[in-house]
Structure 1
Amino acid sequence: MTTITQAATLTAAQRQETALNSRKQIASNFQDFLKLLTTQLQHQDPTAPLDTNQFTQQLVQFAQVEQQLATNSHLERLITVQETTQLTALTPLIGRTVEADSGKVALQGGEARGSYTLRADATAVTVTIRDSTGRVVAQGPGQTRAGRQEFFWDGVSASGQRWPDGAYTVEVQAQYGSSLETVPTTVIGRITGAERADGTLKLAMGDLRIDTTAIRAVQPDR
């Protein structure tokens, strides 16, 4: 099932509610101020009239604060529209296969794919898959030629246990003579949804979440 979620909507709504409450408070304070001013003017001592300059300054300050709150409210609306537009723009990626930088792979339909790039021919390469607890669920040799290489996992462990679809940690280690190096990896999988969480756009690849900035390639439809 493909999904698009706006996790930031609640945050935007909360910001708008806060701004609305602030405007209500300012309006209430302004009304109280006008009542106080009217009462004082009605009961002022004719021989010692009140200093209206101070009241005028306060009126100006109230007006400035109210105007600033209104401006903030307009900006909040613009931000919300922009966030929604950015999220909607990701819709064409849903259902497509993408490759993105990630230290995890997405097991989808019993298949997980990824890649790594070797700086030179390696003596040996080991690909290790771990579950969320760090337990090794699969391990095997990888291609040792220099350049980009892909790996594939069928979701089955060495003991024959089939693991459920989900996100798994992957580690690729390359042996260069006596030196052992950990090689960065990518994940290759089908996009199933898009969301905004904590102000960041993310794509869903099953249970795996990847930043849009991590995308390396979008493969053509087959």
Structure 2
Amino acid sequence: MISPTQSNTATPAPNQSSNGEKTTGLASDFETFLKMLTVQAQNQDPLKPLDASEYASQLAQFSMVEQQVQTNDLLSALGQALGGGNLDKLGKWVGMDVRTPSAFRFAGAPVTLFAKPDPAADKAVMVIRDSEGAIIDRISVPKTDQKMIWAGTGSDGQPLPAGSYSATLESFDGDKLLSEELASAYNHVVEAQISDNKVMLTLESGQVVDASAVTGVRS
């Protein structure tokens, strides 16, 4: 059974934050080394100039220190990108309920589904599928509604067992299928991770979705 209700507006996803860069102690040592080498070259005794091999050795040390500073800066930037900053961002997703177009978990309580019929449609049908993709019910819904309640029953009206289900809204013009839209539902986030610079959320239904697909969040 499906009952129409009023549409909701989505709440924003958790905010992101950035951390400022810090000057390392090695960078400070590098500046000091550069000044000392410059002063040494300016104040050497013209009658006893600095040995060329010793000067070359000091220049080599100078180059090594410079490379080490650059390496540390790069590692620090990578640590910021892959470590603390993003861990804080990921932690905000875990435990939240997010609304995405995906399969959903049914545990005995009615489920709110979100889908918008095609404007040109003269009828709309919500198709309910189980975790294997088999159709278990086809329910006519008002073509003007964008939010509806699924009671969790099959075509025979009997309650369905707990598990993962999905719903697709089919829009028709007469007998012509105009569009199919995977309905959105709220799912509990059980894990968040970064993959290819994207935040990926693992839902209680077992699906993994891109955080950019989230259209609503609630605790």
TM-score of the superposition, structure 1-length normalised?
Answer: 0.57
Structure 2: distance between partners of 1:117 and 1:143: 11
**Deviations along 1:125-155, whole A, 9 cap, x unmatched?**
232233454333x221231323514251516
Q: Which amino acid aligns with 1:165?
A: G
Pick from 57, 62, 65: which aligns with 2:64? 62
One-letter code aligned to 2:64: F
Deviations 1:130-189 (A, max 9, x none): 3454333x22123132351425151646596844423x4432211123531224344222
Point out where structure 2 has 5 or more consecutive residues left out of the alignment: 1-50
Aligned partner of 2:177 in structure 1 is: 180
For residues 180 and 90 of structure 1, what CA distance do their matches in structure 2 show? 37
Cα separation, 2, equivalents of 1:107 and 1:88: 22
Q: What does residue 107 of structure 2 align with? A: 109
The answer to whether the 8 A contact 1:125-1:175 is kept is yes
Contiguous gaps of at least 5 residues in structure 1: 1-48
Provide the identity percentage.
11
What is the distance in 1 between the residues matched to 2:66 and 2:120?
A: 68
- 1:25 aligns with none
Sort the Cα spacing of 1:153 and 1:211 in 2 relative to 1 into closer, same or farther, 3 A.
farther
- Choose which of 140, 143, 146 in structure 1 pairs with 2:141: 143
Contact 2:125–2:169 (CA<8 Å) still a contact in 1?
A: yes
Does the Cα contact within 8 Å between 1:191 and 1:205 map onto a contact in 2?
Answer: yes
Q: Tell me which residue corresponds to 1:87.
A: 90
Count of residue pairs the alignment pairs up: 165
Partner-residue secondary structure (3-state), 2:141: coil
Q: Deviations over 1:40-61 (max 9, x none)?
A: xxxxxxxxx9866765554343
Secondary structure in 1 aligned to 2:177? Answer: strand
| 1:214–1:153 CA distance, 2 compared to 1 (3 A) | farther
Q: Secondary structure at the match of 1:84?
A: helix
Instruction: Give the SS at the match of 1:142.
Output: strand
- Mapped partners of 2:150, 2:90: distance in 1: 31
CA distance in 1, matches of 2:61, 2:139: 76
Aligned CA RMSD, in angstroms, stands at: 3.5
